[in-house]
Amino acid sequence: MQRRVKATAERVGEETGDSDWQKVSSHDLRRYYAQSLLVRERMNLRVVWKSGVVVVLGGGTVSECANS
């Protein structure tokens, strides 16, 4: 999967002329998916974590984010 994401990001970067696409990784996709689950779907933080999706919190603890 990592190779496919890297190859796709490089191709999009070349097609658009935007070199930022070449910095996209599979980790970025996992973070985006986790954010979508938390924000759009309003899924419980602990459920997202148990599914194995990486979540980067903005300075709060798990309990603070889960209770907000």
Q: What is the pLDDT of residues 8-43, one digit of tens each?
A: 999 999 999 999 998 899 888 888 888 888 888 888
At residue 52, the pLDDT reads 73
Token pair of 52, please?
């194995």
Q: Which pLDDT belongs to residue 54?
A: 58
pLDDT at res. 55 = 59
**Residue 61 dihedral angles phi and psi, to the nearest 5°:** -90, 170
Q: What is the pLDDT of residue 66?
A: 44
φ, ψ for residue 17, nearest 5 deg: 80, 10
SS3 for 68?
coil
CA angle 9, 13, 19 (to 5 degrees): 110
pTM reported for the whole predicted model: 0.58
Tell me, what's the pLDDT at 11? 94
